[in-house]
Amino acid sequence: MQPEQPWRQPPPWEEPFPWSTEEPEEAFEATPAALAALRESDAIAEKLVRLLKSLRDMLDADEGLRRRLESLVAAPLGREKPVPGVAVDSTFPIDGGLDLVGGHLVVVVAGYVGFAGACGGTRCSEAHARALLLESEEARKQVPLVAKTLERVLIRRILRQVPRVRMVLVDGELIPYPLVFKSQKAVERSRLLSRLDRVTAEMLREARERGVTLVGVVKRSYSYLLSARLGRRLPLNDKAVMTLLLRPGSYAVAGRFSELLPAYAELVAAQKARQLPPEALDERESIAKQLAEKYREAILGRLARRPSYGEVVVAFYRPSRPANASAVRVEVLDYAGLGLEKILSMLNAMTNPATGLPYPVDLVDEYTRIEARVLELLRRRVVKRLAELLDAYGPGALLVLGHTNPEKRYLYEKPLGRGRGG
């Protein structure tokens, strides 16, 4: 009789946490705002305890639910040698860019780094940037779509120009979520969404034709797709549940978008119905049904328009090292036919022990990072050129490139008296 496999033992949520690696608090100036923020620590801790207790109580009360959840866990991962590939990322100023009198100055960057001999015996990397002067808050909200489009244009170019590539790691989701959660009409009405949809579909078609596997490594994941798979809303998000469920070196498969997303629509509708004001409680059930039908129709319409989107497989794995690594969510389109377990074993082998993520993803994240100070340097170059072009308008015209909030200039300017080693 074979011994029980380690991942079939009582799950980690029934054991004490095996790590305590928090560093001691650093001394800092205790401003009134800082003290007010720190007083919230107890409330946050108590909320997390309630959520963890709710999950445990739910699984204790429903043995079938517990078995279905634990049945998702698959055999432990090996450390497979990675195939030649590239990691791709795009970025933009998280704070919205530089606020100027004439608009928001934003830079969007997309780049890649090769790994495992993707470019023969040489290192390969490339970065592209677009600078935008946006004139409204609504336009600034569209910057993530511009970044995703630039990223997918770059991937399409890689697929055509780097013939050795068999895998592309994307820092983030494979299919931008507005393309699956918005209706076909909403996508068609938006020029940016329409272009992103077209470029994404072309990227997938190119990868399929060339036999290149695409993997999205979703670092910040707050989805509840596991709840859709299980048919019951869990108290914690997917990443949290899988971090508690998986042991180092194991993985779980949630399923394909084509089966997960329509079910997810019903969960979202039920959640929105629960948030209705008290006077609408009598209509909660009918409203939930209407919302569920609306969301399902939107998702099914998009998947019918783009069947390849529905082929995305969602999986989670917990790296073999470090011991306190959290679960990583991945979205996979295995056009190279490598096999999901082999793909996850490659990612496991490429784990950076400092972050718990595949090291190419960390490398490209660093490669595409743009410091806030660059925006100020860009602004000054624009000012210089503008002065040459607008001589007839007088120096007053340059005021349109002044900071709207001078108090925040320090965020974008290098401190005086400090060199590179300062």
| pLDDT tens for each residue of 289-303 | 888 888 889 999 999
Contacts of residue 301, defined as CB under 8 A and 6 or more positions apart, other chains included, come to 183, 184
pLDDT band at 7 (very low <50, low <70, confident <90, very high): very low
pLDDT of residue 14 exceeding 60, the answer is no
pLDDT band at 151 (very low <50, low <70, confident <90, very high): very high
Q: Which helix (H) or strand (E) holds 129?
A: strand 125-134
For a pLDDT cut of 90, what percent of the chain falls above it? 50
Give me the amino acid identity at 127.
Answer: A
List the single range of 136-150, 218-232, 239-253, 408-422 with lowest mean pLDDT.
408-422
Question: Which of residues 202 and 272 earns the better pLDDT score?
Answer: 202
pLDDT of residue 153 exceeding 70, the answer is yes
- CA nearest neighbour of 100 among 375, 320, 400: 400
Distances (CA, A) of 194 to 134, 186, 367: 20, 9, 29
Radius of gyration over alpha carbons of the chain, in Å? 24
Contact between residue 212 and residue 174 where contact means Cβ atoms under 8 Å apart: no
The pTM of this model reads 0.85
**CB-hemisphere CA count at 13 Å for 350?**
25
Q: 216 - beta bridge partners?
A: 170, 331
> 3-class SS at 85?
strand
How far apart are alpha carbons 136 and 97 in whole angstroms? Answer: 12
Long-range contacts of 353-360 (CB under 8 A, 24+ apart): 353/321, 353/322, 356/319, 356/322, 356/325, 356/326, 356/328, 357/217, 357/219, 357/328, 358/87, 358/169, 358/217, 359/115, 360/85, 360/86, 360/87, 360/113, 360/115, 360/169
pLDDT of residue 5 exceeding 60, the answer is no
Q: What's the pLDDT at 240? A: 93
Q: What's the pLDDT at 281? A: 65
Mean pLDDT, rounded, of the chain: 83
Q: What's the pLDDT at 280? A: 64
Instruction: Please report the DSSP string for 344-383 in residue order.
Output: HHHHHHTEETTTTEEHHHHHHHHHH---HHHHHHHHHHHH
Average pLDDT over residues 16-34: 59
Question: Which of residues 225 and 281 earns the better pLDDT score?
Answer: 225
Measured CA angle at 353 (ends 85, 177), to 5 deg:
55
pLDDT of residue 416 exceeding 70, the answer is no
Distance of CA 382 to the CA centre of its chain: 33
pLDDT band at 389 (very low <50, low <70, confident <90, very high): confident
pLDDT band at 273 (very low <50, low <70, confident <90, very high): confident
pLDDT of residue 140 exceeding 70, the answer is yes
In our burial notation (b when 16+ CB lie closer than 10 A, e otherwise), range 135-168 reads eeeebbebbbbbbbbbbbbbbbebbeebeebbbb
Q: 317 - beta bridge partners?
A: 251, 328
How far apart are alpha carbons 247 and 225 in whole angstroms? Answer: 20
Contact between residue 187 and residue 306 where contact means Cβ atoms under 8 Å apart: no
| pLDDT tens for each residue of 73-132 | 987 888 899 999 999 999 887 666 777 777 778 888 999 999 999 988 777 888 888 888
Question: Which of residues 105 and 19 earns the better pLDDT score?
Answer: 105
Pairing of the two strands 167-171 and 213-218: parallel
Question: Which of residues 381 and 146 earns the better pLDDT score?
Answer: 146
List the single range of 295-299, 310-314, 335-339, 368-372 with lowest mean pLDDT.
368-372
Average pLDDT over residues 275-292: 74
How far apart are alpha carbons 384 and 387 in whole angstroms? Answer: 5
> 3-class SS at 102?
coil
